[in-house]
């Protein structure tokens, strides 16, 4: 067994039996592990407007960037919801190394 790629979902391994010829299943497994092909209907005008607006070259770059930004926005929103709900007793100047902590 040979492990071909490590992603967020863990290590992807493929069983191999090579006999001097390319193993199509092996090569397909590597490609599948690196990128998943999905068919979705996206309005062409919307996708093209987003692509041009972001200054990207391909539809794939556009969709990938949009997904990354959506994930990041959701993460920031989760952090924003925590604002004021965590009580921290911090001295910012000390944390930044500007002042020595007061002796108690």
Neighbour count for residue 16 (Cβ, 10 Å): 12
Beta carbons of 12 and 5 less than 8 angstroms apart:
yes
Model confidence pLDDT, tens digit, residues 7-27: 555 555 544 455 555 555 555
Model confidence pLDDT, tens digit, residues 43-94: 999 999 999 999 999 999 999 999 999 999 999 998 888 888 888 788 888 8
Note the pLDDT of residue 85.
Answer: 85
Note the pLDDT of residue 50.
Answer: 96
CA-only gyration radius of the chain, Å: 24
Element of type H or E holding 59 = helix 59-82
Neighbour count for residue 51 (Cβ, 10 Å): 19
Look-up: residue for tokens 């770059």? 61
1, pLDDT greater than 50: no
pTM score of the predicted model: 0.51
């Amino acid at each position: 067994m040979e492990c071909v790629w490590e992603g967020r979902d863990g290590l992807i391994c493929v069983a191999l039996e090579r006999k001097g010829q390319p193993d199509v299943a092996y090569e397909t497994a590597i490609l599948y592990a690196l990128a998943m092909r999905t068919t979705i209907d996206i309005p062409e005008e919307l996708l093209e407007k987003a692509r041009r607006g972001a200054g990207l070259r391909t539809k794939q770059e556009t969709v990938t960037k949009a997904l990354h930004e959506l994930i990041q926005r959701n993460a920031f929103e989760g952090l924003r919801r925590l604002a004021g709900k965590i009580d921290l007793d911090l001295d910012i100047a000390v944390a930044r190394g500007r002042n020595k902590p007061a002796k108690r």
